[in-house]
Amino acid sequence: MKTLSGLGGRAPRLKVFIQNRPPLPAYQGPGYRAMVPGEIGAIARDTGNHWRKVFNVYAKLAFALAPGPFDRWQDFRDQQLLQDASSFALLFSPPDLADNSLKLVLGKGYANELGLLAEQGGPLAWDAPGFAHSADKRLILCPYFDYRQLSDLKIGYLLSWLRPLWAEDDRT
């Protein structure tokens, strides 16, 4: 099993792979750890709009899969997303295709760099503009977590792939 580098819960069920990291010293080194309450807000405050969008889109998606005790995705984001008990991770290291967890790779450019596209001999086959998947690897390529690239409508499309896999995991 490859060493993870990123942020998230101790046993994530959905791992999101992103090419970049928050541009702050605390996020540049190797290692994996849970976030603490208020950390997402601090990153957004200290780095600007880009990371606020990334965390907001992730929160909307995660909340739609597993809202827990929360009524609003904003509360889920601030009180659970990527924290110790979270079922979610944001990873800065490449995906381990042997890992059976659900995996999202953000952006065609990153998937291309990793050699994951079918035309490169990788496992991902295109489904729709911006989306590719490999059912046997439980791997999905989706647009980057930004409102312009992954709108609420596209989040709905992504959820149509993720929900059955998430429910399958619940049964096992």
pLDDT at 1: 47
Strand order in the sheet with 6-8: 32-33, 6-8, 88-91, 14-17, 102-106, 139-142, 131-134, 125-128
Domain boundaries, the chain: 6-166
Q: Give the pTM.
A: 0.95
Q: Alpha-carbon distance 167 to 172, whole Å? A: 9
pLDDT at 172: 58
Q: Is 60 helix (H, G, I), strand (E, B) or coil?
A: helix
pLDDT at 73: 97
In a 10 Å sphere around its CB, with 0-12 CB exposed, 13-18 middle and 19+ buried, how is residue 96 labelled?
Answer: middle
The 10 Å CB-count burial string (b at 16+, else e) for 122-131 is: bbbeeeeebb
Query: Which tokens belong to 161?
Result: 């792939």
Q: Is 172 helix (H, G, I), strand (E, B) or coil?
A: coil
pLDDT at 42: 96
Closest listed residue to residue 103, CA positions, set 58, 131, 137: 137
pLDDT at 169: 78
CA atoms within a 13 Å half-sphere pointing along the CA-CB vector of 61? 33
> Across-strand partners of 88?
14
Phi, psi of 81 (to 5 degrees): -55, 125
| Mean pLDDT, each 10-residue run in order, the chain (172 residues) | 84 96 93 96 94 97 95 97 96 93 96 93 91 92 94 93 88 62
